[in-house]
Amino acid sequence: MTTSSLGWGILGTGLIATLFTADLQAVGLRVAAVGSRTVDRAQAFAAEHEIPAAHGSWQELVDDPSVDVVYVATPHPAHVAAALMALEAGKHVLVEKAFTMTAVEAEAIVRLAEERGLVALEAMWTRFLPHMLEIHAAIEAGEIGDPQVLIAEHCQALPTDPAHRLNAPELGGGALLDLGVYPISFAVDLFGPPEQIDARAVFTETGVDGRVSGTLVHAGGRHSLFTAALNIPGVNGATILGTGGSIVIDPTWYTATGYTVRDRDQQVVRRSQPAVSGRGMQFQAFELERLVREGRIAGDRMPPAQSVQIMAVLDAIRDTIGLRYPGEGGPTGR
């Protein structure tokens, strides 16, 4: 259990906000306020989680003097407006992934955060989980030689209601931005931004990508193979292949889990199963608070510039598969 002098403001009252708030409170981080578009939703969320203040608008939340950090938990299309509003009010931001809808929007957030000397961190919580930190250390120590290939999936059987945000183009629905961002972020984390991209998708009746798969080619010929789907269940494992062995991450690889290191002969070298309390979303909050304490606006695990790079990869994949959202011009899906 830890304590925090920073006050967190929760912007949005959906499922992800509920999960994040629970993990913050479980480790003693201070949730000071919640904001929603309606005061009724904000008050209900505040009552459920025993949060001191409830605001019926985003502006009221970011103007609350008890709030130092704003967690943006809205659907994707609202991320940029909410994050910029918070930064303009002098608040640090933790923005749910996908960070924005486009790289241009991501650049706007990062630029304003830099101008104001504030932290703008993408809430890619997987990056900060203990098993992922251990895996990076294992790779840096040469346990599998030179890593060459990443194979990762994120497939789920999610709600099929056409009005659900995952199936609604106007809300940034589809497999790529909600699910595919995980393996793609992992690929950029391991190998840097890709030099070549190939992707294919199958679209739903509502015009969003129900399934998307592809290959990213990185510097030195390294490959990342990814699949994301919102209408079929998956094992959700991930494997890193190196010249001297492999690391196999247990299902579900992007949550708190374990992994196995194998040698060139596929013999088990070691197993690890780091203990994590709760879901594990508190680690990204720890990172943001660490940066604030140290007077920094960027860290090594999820630097803002890399969030922009990841959005650029998602943009390129959308171009490749022909995915357009309302207001972007051209057909939605194909």
Name the helix (H) or strand (E) containing 114: helix 103-116
Which residues are known catalytic residues? 97
Give, in order, the Cα–Cα distances in Å from 213 to each of 162, 182, 190, 195, 265: 22, 13, 19, 17, 29
SS3 state of residue 270: strand
* Cα torsion angle, 252, 255, 257, 258, sign: positive
Q: How far, in whole angstroms, is CA 207 from its chain's centroid?
A: 23
Helix axes 304-321, 181-191, angle to 10 degrees: 120
Q: List 282's β-bridge partners, or say none.
A: none
Is the Cβ–Cβ distance between 73 and 23 less than 8 Å? no
Using CB atoms within 10 Å of the CB of residue 28, give its burial: 0 to 12 exposed, 13 to 18 middle, 19+ buried. Answer: exposed
